[in-house]
Structure 1
Amino acid sequence: MTSVAPTPGYRHRLAEASIASSLDAVGAVVVEGPRACGKTWTARQFAASEVLFDGSDEQRLAFAVDPSRILDGPTPRLLDEWHLVPTTWNAMRRACDDRRDKGIFLLTGSAVPPDDITRHSGAGRVRRVRMRTMTLVESGHSTGEVSIASMLRGEPVSAAKPAVAFEDVVECAVRGGWPGLADLSPTAAQDNLSAYLDEIARTDVARVDEVRRDRAGVSALIRSLARNVASEAGYSTLADDADLDRATVKAYLEALERLFVAEHAPAWQPRLMSRVPLRQAPKRFFVDPSLAAAALESGVERLRSELNYFGLVFENLVMRDLQVYADASGAGVHHYRDKSGLEADAIVQRRSDGAWLAIETKLGGIEAIDRAAESLLRLQRTVDTSRIGPPTQLLVLTSTGYGYQRPDGVAVAPITTLGP
């Protein structure tokens, strides 16, 4: 597959490497992620022709009448927002079988359709690539010196203090990593994101599986998620907070996850040296921290004055970037918490060999960093490392400052130095 030759104004994305390698390996690649995260623009860097299903009813009607006419064209052929015409899936899959070639189709989707549509999974023919909003490396706000890949290899941490100040980090969280909002002020970006969330509640959650849902109820759940961001809030907690019943919260939350608006970090399940039980609940986040701010109408000034809440939004920012950087290293992201209260905000673990590192997030301050470091060292003593080995790194991730290794072995680095 040829390398990406970007169009003017295009920002390179870390997902490009996965898209390129997947096109070389299988017949079709599905690029999935939230609406407006840049999927179409990135896919166009590889595509030789395209069909935009969200552009007009004509395209959708043409496919219904004659699928082969829409699927025929120079390859890779981009089928943008394919889920709007769900019959695309089986037609595309059959075309891959008939042509027996690599890199035939690129599909983008902003929603996961009902399971029965993709019951013929496409195993061996289709790969999925997850895209999120831009990380701080992709938007130019992180130097990337503190690499997840290098830390998983056990390399020490060192980085100069970046030029990005705390105020800039707050603005990055409020504006988010949406390519189309990158040049807007945080206030203008928040206006757009408020409209984005309103559209999610008004139409998108119904469109995902053709089930009518109460707009006010969906909006109430989104606000509840924002109040409980970076927490292990269960269905009952969210139901009480949003004044909804538990079954409704479960259904609405599943729809938001299928739209790639909400997501969660699963609990890490290591073997322990102690008998302290582990907590099993996932930790809840938005796909981008700006959505939490928009849901509660929290702009830059409000978040700067409410640092306890900004600490949670900051953790959402960290989790977004970690998910992308971990993907690039073939790793997954979890959280850890046991019933004694010992926790780690993030565990990054490589799938191939189990190598892992543990991360605590703190806005800054010597005392807060000291407490986080002690917590990480306690975690290291608690986990049975006989099978997975000791952590390759213990890291306190802050909002600003230098990257360095403490005498106790714990690393400290700002989010503006983190990279893949």
Structure 2
Amino acid sequence: GGWPDAVTGSKKNALRRAIQYVETIIQTDISSVDNIRKDPVKVRDLMLSLARNTATVATVKTIRDDMVRGDADNALSAPTIYGYLNALERMFVVEDLPAWSPSLRSKTTIRTSPKRHFVDPSIATAVMRLTPGRLLKDFLFFGFLFESLCIRDLRIYADGNDGQVFHYRDANGLEADAVVVLNDGRWGAVEVKLGTKEIEEAAIHLRKLKERINTEKMMEPSFLLILTAGTYAYRREDGVLVVPLACLKD
């Protein structure tokens, strides 16, 4: 993640810029957006919880429990948390990823909870004060942030093509990290994998999702795509595309 002005500057200044932005949100901006004062300590706790739950379907209850951490007497109520989240959304700080509800061949129940995302994953790292070195020591969390980075870029490219981005998750545990849907009905499913060892499993998930879609009511997918942090793009024998995130612009 990052900001345009930070790309050409030093790493230190880029990190400082993101932290300053987060501090401005916490101390002043979130209260001014709706002229309702909000406790900066609670705002920080909320943003920390959102950062820890990046790219997950964490509910408000999950977030509240994470914020409490043994201090239930000072916990925010669920309606107050919703108010804080609404303010962050109005400020374009958070942008949850809605669930996709396609027509399926079977009566499988589709989960409808959105996935939690900041508009840019650098906000998550800034609120947690993570340096690149510390982040690389937590590969699991790094994977969630990489997924959030991919979602950010997919949204940008989809918006430029009159499209939207969703995620898919059903009661049988089948998931797709992103589904790009254009206004004309074309769609494609995306899995995000930071490492190469998970590519085969991701391809299986994408093919299963394709099989579950009722193509009498919907189009066949325009693509099945695995986004990676790799170097080379290629098409597998099963037709699934494996593409580095940096290649999306091409």
Q: Normalising to structure 2: TM-score of the pair?
A: 0.94
Which of 4, 17, 21 aligns to 1:196? It is: 21
The corresponding residue for 1:404 is: 234
SS of 1:285's equivalent in the other structure is coil
The corresponding residue for 1:417 is: 247
Which residue type is aligned with residue 240 of structure 2? V
| TM-superposed deviation, 1:389 | 1.1
The corresponding residue for 2:195 is: 364
1:266 equivalenced with 2:98 (yes/no): yes
Q: Is the 8 A contact 2:54 2:118 kept in 1?
A: yes
SS of 2:206's equivalent in the other structure is helix
Distance in 1, Cα, partners of 2:152 & 2:30: 22
Identity of aligned residues (%): 44
Distance in 1, Cα, partners of 2:106 & 2:131: 44
SS of 1:341's equivalent in the other structure is coil
Q: How many residues align?
A: 243
Distance in 1, Cα, partners of 2:119 & 2:181: 20
The corresponding residue for 1:216 is: 41
The corresponding residue for 2:81 is: 249
Which residue type is aligned with residue 347 of structure 1? V
| TM-superposed deviation, 1:186 | 2.9
Structure 1: which 5+ runs fail to align? 1-172
The corresponding residue for 1:386 is: 216
Distance in 2, Cα, partners of 1:225 & 1:360: 22
Structure 2: which 5+ runs fail to align? 69-75
Which residue type is aligned with residue 142 of structure 2? F
Q: Normalising to structure 1: TM-score of the pair?
A: 0.57
The corresponding residue for 1:328 is: 160
Distance in 2, Cα, partners of 1:310 & 1:203: 29
RMSD: 1.1
Distance in 2, Cα, partners of 1:192 & 1:248: 29
1:304 equivalenced with 2:146 (yes/no): no
Which residue type is aligned with residue 84 of structure 2? Y
Which residue type is aligned with residue 274 of structure 1? S
Distance in 2, Cα, partners of 1:249 & 1:385: 40
1:342 equivalenced with 2:170 (yes/no): no
Which residue type is aligned with residue 193 of structure 1? A
Q: 1:54-101, CA deviations, whole angstroms, 9 ceiling, x for partnerless residues?
A: xxxxxxxxxxxxxxxxxxxxxxxxxxxxxxxxxxxxxxxxxxxxxxxx
Q: Is the 8 A contact 1:336 1:344 kept in 2?
A: yes
SS of 2:95's equivalent in the other structure is strand
- Structure 1 ranges of 4+ moved more than 4 A: none
